[in-house]
Structure 1
Amino acid sequence: MSRVVVCHGIGYQYKHRETWLTEWYDALRVGLTDAALPVPEAGDVSAVYYGSCYRARGGKGNVDDELADIPPLRIGDLNDPLELELLEAFAEGTEVPAAGGKGLGQMALRRLERSERLGQPAGRSVLWMIRQVRRYLDANDTVRACAQQRFERVVTPETRVVIGHSLGSVVGYEALRAHPEWNVHTFVSVGSPLGIRAVYDRLLPSSPAAGDGISSVSRWVNVAAKDDPVALVKHLGPVFGEEVEDRPVVNLPWYNGRKYAFGSHSVLHYLTTAEVAEAVAGGLRAEER
């Protein structure tokens, strides 16, 4: 029935919709249960899956390991100025700069590679994900139109809550602005890069004027972790208007033995927070407009 619609971020080119939706629903259920709030049925939560919009038609990859098919990208492969701008912006939110890099781009990459806030990703993974963000924002690419079409297919008249993580918050924001006729009550952005200038300036239908949020929704709750480098701008209220309810959280790292597993940007961290649980429950309680 799609009472709650969730939208993923970068890095979902091959993972099947039902696999990651199950993971997200389980995390959301934990958060709502811990907060003593009603849990929607699994059938009431639907997913916008646009990861395959990045793949060539007919392309297939490793569904068990998203990173297995990433090409061996190097810093020199970032030829687009927007990619370098995004790389340096995300690096601003990491720990103290690491030595050993030559040039701003290389130093930014090293900071992100070594960042526990992101789970110490491989350099090629960082560059691949930066490229995914750039492709969505590129007006000459097909990814944005494809993602928006996928969103339109999932939202129904019964949809009350939209949750967007990372780049998914950008996709969700644009979809909600483009469809004021939708009956969505609450938008929940988590780990969002919407406040980064490189992203903000390229939003469609058009870059919003200062203080222009989403007039079609009754409530916008933005949840940003203190150490999340992707959510570099933690407070979106000053950018999009006072109606944005900024909710800062602390996402502690998860470990699997001695191997670092999840950083502060992990969607599973966010979905288990009381802040997200309260926003979702509030949206579902709201009367139909």
Structure 2
Amino acid sequence: MRLLFIHGRSQEGRSEQALKEEWLGALNRGLSEANKPEIAESAVAQPFYGDVLLELSKTDPANADELKRSSAEKRQGADFVKFMAEAAVELSAKGSEAGIAAIQPPPFDGDDVYRTKNPACAPLEQSDIDDMAERGVQNWSWVIATVRHLDETFPAFSEWSIGRLLRDVYLYLTDEEIQAKIDEIVERHITSEPTLVVGHSLGTVVAYNILRKKERNITGFITLGSPLGIQAIRKRLEPPAIIRPNVETWANLYDTADIVALNPLNSKSFAIFNKPIEDVKVHNDSDNRHNIKSYISDVETVSRIHKFVSSGEHQ
């Protein structure tokens, strides 16, 4: 049984080896604490696309100067504003529901600008979000203010920003060049051997997008701190939104205080495959509640990975 680890964003300047040592080291510590045998480095593949993502994502799709170039770029900019607005609204509302932050996005106030107001404001209606997108970058300041408010509300996250994560997810989903190059890097590490895929953060979006397109010998899928439950992201995954039936089990582990992964994946509305997605609440004890080392060393993650590896050893 092989393990395929797929990392998230903000990994530029690192390497496959450094990431493998970080992920596998944390996993083996968790296995050791659970009195389970450690996993050899030779059984793990760790694609690295961090530098490619950084290089290809330098253009901001909401940049006003870029939008002057063509109607296609204008459409992209408007769609990006809408995507960010939808995500900001959802994250703000879910954070408030979870008792993490008493914040709500500002309502449409009847003019061309959406201004940040007090926490008691009602959430934006979908029609207001659509109107924001149609008005384009002149309302970008509201989106920036709302995302900045989220960053300030979750200060431990600010080192790499919720906004930058959402932007990178959007670019991966909508930019054909970025998606093709990242997918090619990951594809090189997929073999005919039975494989358990473990993805984190943006890496769960990359993994899902790759796995749903082609049947492979993937025996299981584990998502850690996944933003796939965010509606704005889910809507931009091209249909059909399914995992191939040969992926028999999918466990989604998330901390309810992880702003990126507040939503469970809810298999009935998200994916159709042999068995339901198993949504599992865990406690990520890192400062931002999203760190990969805390997710992959958690007893719930460890037990599932051990089960897969052990079953593969006896086949």
Match in the other structure for 1:193: 227
Structure 1: gaps of 5 or more residues: 60-69, 255-261
Instruction: Please report the TM-score for the alignment, with normalisation by the length of structure 1.
Output: 0.78
Instruction: Give the distance between the partners of 1:9 and 1:55, measured in 2 at CA.
Output: 12
Match in the other structure for 1:169: 204
Q: 1:234 aligns with which of 264, 273, 284?
A: 264
Q: Secondary structure at the match of 2:260?
A: coil
Q: 1:114 aligns with which of 144, 152, 161?
A: 152
Instruction: Give the distance between the partners of 1:282 and 1:112, measured in 2 at CA.
Output: 37
Asked if structure 2 preserves the Cα contact closer than 8 Å seen for 1:162 and 1:187, the reply is yes
- Whichever structure has more helix as a proportion of its residues is 2
Distance of aligned partners of 1:196 and 1:54 in 2 relative to their CA distance in 1, 3 Å threshold: same
Instruction: Give the distance between the partners of 2:19 and 2:94, measured in 1 at CA.
Output: 27
Distance of aligned partners of 1:207 and 1:167 in 2 relative to their CA distance in 1, 3 Å threshold: farther
Match in the other structure for 2:307: 282
Asked if structure 1 preserves the Cα contact closer than 8 Å seen for 2:173 and 2:237, the reply is yes
Asked if structure 2 preserves the Cα contact closer than 8 Å seen for 1:177 and 1:215, the reply is no
Q: Percent identity?
A: 24
Instruction: Give the distance between the partners of 1:76 and 1:277, measured in 2 at CA.
Output: 43
Match in the other structure for 2:23: 24
The residue type paired with residue 96 of structure 1 is: A
Instruction: Give the distance between the partners of 1:245 and 1:159, measured in 2 at CA.
Output: 20
The residue type paired with residue 230 of structure 1 is: V
Tell me the CA shift for residue 135 of structure 1.
0.4
Tell me the CA shift for residue 155 of structure 1.
1.4
- In the comparison of the two structures, how many residue pairs are matched? 259
Asked if structure 2 preserves the Cα contact closer than 8 Å seen for 1:32 and 1:277, the reply is yes
Matches within 5 A, 1:1-289: 3-56=2-55, 80=80, 81-94=82-95, 95-97=100-102, 102-103=115-116, 105-116=143-154, 119-121=156-158, 125-138=161-174, 140-180=175-215, 182-204=216-238, 206-208=239-241, 212-239=242-269, 240-241=271-272, 243-252=276-285, 254=286, 262-287=287-312
Instruction: Give the distance between the partners of 2:157 and 2:205, measured in 1 at CA.
Output: 24
Asked if structure 2 preserves the Cα contact closer than 8 Å seen for 1:213 and 1:243, the reply is no
Instruction: Give the distance between the partners of 2:197 and 2:235, measured in 1 at CA.
Output: 23
Instruction: Please report the TM-score for the alignment, with normalisation by the length of structure 2.
Output: 0.72
Instruction: Give the distance between the partners of 1:126 and 1:76, measured in 2 at CA.
Output: 18
Instruction: Give the distance between the partners of 2:265 and 2:204, measured in 1 at CA.
Output: 14
Tell me the CA shift for residue 93 of structure 1.
4.2
Q: CA RMSD in A?
A: 3.0
Instruction: Give the distance between the partners of 1:159 and 1:92, measured in 2 at CA.
Output: 40
Instruction: Give the distance between the partners of 1:10 and 1:92, measured in 2 at CA.
Output: 24
Tell me the CA shift for residue 23 of structure 1.
0.9
